[in-house]
Each structure stands twice: as C-alpha cells, then as structure tokens.
Chains A and B, each alone.
Chain A
C-alpha cells in the first residue's frame, strides 16, 4: 500500500470511529428517555476525533496528490464530520432533556414521539450501513425517508398540544418538545451525511457535480 493510501485509510478508520461513537451516544440518549438512569454522553471524545479527522484530512490535502476519488473521499469526510459533530452535540442535548424529566413524566405515552425515536434509530443504522458500504442507493433511500421524520415531528407537536390541555404539565411539554426538535435536527444531519456519502461515491452533491 502506498503512503497516501495508508493516510486515507487511516482517515476512513477515524471517521468510522467517530460515527460509531456518536451514533452510540444518540442511541443511549434515546434509551435514557424511558429510564431513571441517564447515561452520560462523552462529547469530548467525539470532539477529539473530530479534530483528529480534520487534521488528518488537511494534512493529506496539503501533502499528497489528491485527485479523482481520493479528493472526493478526503473532502467528503471533511464535510461529513461537521454533521457528525453536531449530532454528538444533540446527543448531549437529548441526555440533558432526559435528565429534566421525572420517571413518571417519562412514562407518559406520547406515541408519535416513540415513533420518532424509532425512526431516528433506524435511520442511524441505515446511515452507518450506507457509509460503511459506500452504498449510494441506500443513501438516496435514507434521504427520501426524511419526510417521515418531518411528518412525525409535526405529529408530536399536535399530540403534545392535546396532552397539554389534559395534564397541564409544562415540564413534560417543554422537554418533550425539545426532545422532538433535537431528534428532528439529528435526522436533518443524517440527511446531510447521506448526501456526502453519495458525493464520495460518485461526485454528485444534491444532484449536481461540485468537482
């Protein structure tokens, strides 16, 4: 393997580590929405990997001949980790919201919020799969699925309005609204990641060629 390939391989490995760590943090935060114990999200470790990936990508761009696929991999990863880092922040936000809810509040059934959690969890797995396999078809499907998330987010707001009238529990309403918003934001960042996966694979970003 030539030196440049080793550097690019190392960059890919670091990006996968960052994605796995971030997605695990989101999953734990979502799980904690129904539990007493809140698992702490280690955002610092995600941020450290973010800096590592950025440094490695810039080093490759500075020192190596990056054309064709190499250029797409390095620049694609450089863009994609921005979204991963934001997802990491939202995982922390979700855990914080979870800590603000009592166990009783956590067990108030908000069906559309449960569905939204499931949808985001599934999207996380599918996004990781499309990244690992560089599967642009799957990435395209993942992007299309975002409409479900948007619909569910609006359903959560409707459902919370009904619950507000019934229970007058503003703590539950406020933090559940925030949780829904963070989940919706995470899904948006997953869309961006899938767009960068398509770019890495074939050079198209949002249906046009950048380079």
Chain B
C-alpha cells in the first residue's frame, strides 16, 4: 500500500460509559481514496467514523483513548470546530436546513465570517457543480431546500460540506434512504469527488462497497477484523469472520 496516509489511527479504544465500543483499533486512511467501513449492526463502524471529526464528543459519557493523527497532529487534541471544517460529514438521512438552497450551501461559510456576496455565490455554484446538482437547481437557488427530492437533498448536503473546502468527507450510509436512481447518482458523485477529497463511507450495502471503494475495513464487535484493498478483501478475505460475513453465513 504505497499511498499517502491522511489519517493514522493508533490503538484507538472508545467507551460509552463502562461499555467498550471500539477495541484497540489501528488503521491508516489513504488520501484521495474511498475507504468503506462494513460490518454487522452494532459493530462500531459508525462510532469509529464519528471519531474522525469528533462527533462523539457530543455524546455524554463517551471516552476515547489512543490517537488519530491528521497531518501529524492528534485530532483528539485540536479544536473540534476547526477539525469539522476540514473533515465534513454526510448522514444517512438528508438533513438540509429549512432555508433556501443558496443559504444551505453558504451557511458554513457565513459562520466562518465570509460576507462578500460574490464570493459566496461563486463558492455556492462551484460546490453545487462539484456535487452534480447545479444544473438541476440553477434556476431556483432561492427556493426552499426542503422542496428538493431525497437524492437532491443528499447532494445538497454534500455541496454544503464541500463549500468549506474540507480534505475529508465522512459519509454514514449516505444512500440507505434513497432509491436506486438517486443512489447511483451519489455513487457516481463519490467516484468523482475522490479526485479532490478523501472519502470514508459506512455502508451496509456490500455491492456498493465493491463498486465505489478502494479500501475496505471490516468491523465486528468493536474490533477491526480485516483491512485491505476492496478487490482483495471481497475476493480473498484473510479472516474467516470476514469470509463468513461477506458470504452471508451470518448476519
């Protein structure tokens, strides 16, 4: 794996109160690649994903040990607000704000103090273009974002994330609430986005993982069981638990 590492996780364990949800995980995430996290429900993959932008900080009694190095800095020790501008996130359910499409995309920028209308508009158009939504909404940027379809809303959320020029986009089952057409548009978009961004995605859809990801990490009961290139993982899994899981021998 001669790739540039963007995140280097070392001996990371996470506790919800007394319960250990992630167990001594070490993994490198590669730049400009799509990394898929898969595993049965409750295995810790979403919890682990949230570690990369410190979303777990918002959960009471959640404690993290170990370190996640991002540009040689332990993200567990940096300002989480700054971190989240560099590591954006897209969730399972599209969650546009109840405001116009334009305001949704530029919301984060305004929070950062960007006020120049021309600059906001330029970034808005660029972000919507990158998220393959601009052509569909260019004549109604002032319309309420809640009027968009589910697939469009999800691409809008991606545009909102891109507007802040992140390095990494985290996606937690981004297509599980979408129909196959909207799903394939998001998947196509992910393939495009990886040219400029590093993407880490949690998915239950293994065919999706094989279609879009370069690397796959398989989690079970809080352990990272196996991590390999996606092609290798799905054709020659090394661990019996991985093999059983992808072959459907248990759920």
B234:A2 contact, CB within 8 angstroms: no
Expressed in whole angstroms, the Cα–Cα distance for A211 and B248 within the complex equals 19
Question: Interface range on chain A: under 10, 10 to 19, 20 to 34, or 35 or more?
Answer: 10 to 19
Expressed in whole angstroms, the Cα–Cα distance for A75 and B130 within the complex equals 38
Does A48 lie at the interface of the complex (its beta carbon under 8 Å from any beta carbon of B)?
no
Q: Which residues of B in the span 16-49 have a Cβ within 8 Å of any Cβ on A?
A: none
User: What chain B residues lie within 8 Å of A2 (beta carbons)?
Assistant: 248-249
In this complex, what residue of B is CB-closest to A64?
A: B248
User: What chain A residues lie within 8 Å of B248 (beta carbons)?
Assistant: 2, 4, 64-65
Chain A 47-80: CB-based contact to B (< 8 A → 1; otherwise 0): 0000000000000000011011111100000000
User: What chain B residues lie within 8 Å of A70 (beta carbons)?
Assistant: 247
Would you give the shortest CB distance from A72 to chain B, in whole angstroms?
A: 8
Does A203 lie at the interface of the complex (its beta carbon under 8 Å from any beta carbon of B)?
yes
Chain B 217-250: CB-based contact to A (< 8 A → 1; otherwise 0): 0000000000000010011110000010011110
User: What chain B residues lie within 8 Å of A68 (beta carbons)?
Assistant: 234-237, 243, 246-247
Expressed in whole angstroms, the Cα–Cα distance for A67 and B235 within the complex equals 6
A203:B247 contact, CB within 8 angstroms: no
Would you give the shortest CB distance from B71 to chain A, in whole angstroms?
A: 35
Q: Which residues of B in the span 191-225 have a Cβ within 8 Å of any Cβ on A?
A: 206, 210
Would you give the shortest CB distance from B236 to chain A, in whole angstroms?
A: 6
Q: Which residues of B in the span 131-168 have a Cβ within 8 Å of any Cβ on A?
A: none
Would you give the shortest CB distance from A209 to chain B, in whole angstroms?
A: 8
Would you give the shortest CB distance from A7 to chain B, in whole angstroms?
A: 12
A65:B247 contact, CB within 8 angstroms: yes
Would you give the shortest CB distance from B229 to chain A, in whole angstroms?
A: 11
User: What chain A residues lie within 8 Å of B246 (beta carbons)?
Assistant: 65, 67-68
Expressed in whole angstroms, the Cα–Cα distance for A2 and B248 within the complex equals 9
User: What chain A residues lie within 8 Å of B247 (beta carbons)?
Assistant: 4, 65, 67-70
Residue from A2, A4, A67, A211 having most chain B Cβ neighbours under 10 A: A67
User: What chain B residues lie within 8 Å of A67 (beta carbons)?
Assistant: 206, 210, 234-235, 237, 246-247
Would you give the shortest CB distance from B28 to chain A, in whole angstroms?
A: 23
Expressed in whole angstroms, the Cα–Cα distance for A65 and B247 within the complex equals 6
Expressed in whole angstroms, the Cα–Cα distance for A70 and B234 within the complex equals 11
A203:B249 contact, CB within 8 angstroms: no
User: What chain A residues lie within 8 Å of B231 (beta carbons)?
Assistant: 211
A211:B249 contact, CB within 8 angstroms: no
Would you give the shortest CB distance from B33 to chain A, in whole angstroms?
A: 19
B206, B210, B243: the one within 8 Å of A69 (CB)? B243
In this complex, what residue of B is CB-closest to A72?
A: B235
Would you give the shortest CB distance from B48 to chain A, in whole angstroms?
A: 22
Expressed in whole angstroms, the Cα–Cα distance for A71 and B235 within the complex equals 8
User: What chain B residues lie within 8 Å of A72 (beta carbons)?
Assistant: 235
Chain A 188-206: CB-based contact to B (< 8 A → 1; otherwise 0): 0000000000000001000
Q: A68-B247, A70-B247 are in contact. Are A211 and B235 (CB under 8 A)?
A: yes
Q: Which residues of A in the span 152-211 have a Cβ within 8 Å of any Cβ on B?
A: 203, 209, 211
User: What chain B residues lie within 8 Å of A71 (beta carbons)?
Assistant: 234-235
User: What chain B residues lie within 8 Å of A209 (beta carbons)?
Assistant: 235-236
In this complex, what residue of B is CB-closest to A65?
A: B248
Q: Which residues of B in the span 89-110 have a Cβ within 8 Å of any Cβ on A?
A: none
Closest 9 CB pairs of A and B: A211-B235, A67-B246, A67-B234, A65-B248, A68-B243, A68-B237, A203-B236, A70-B247, A68-B247
Sample of 18 further A-B pairs with CB below 8 A, known A67-B246, A69-B243, A69-B247: A4-B247, A4-B248, A65-B206, A65-B247, A65-B248, A67-B234, A67-B237, A67-B247, A68-B236, A68-B237, A68-B243, A68-B246, A68-B247, A71-B235, A72-B235, A209-B235, A211-B231, A211-B235
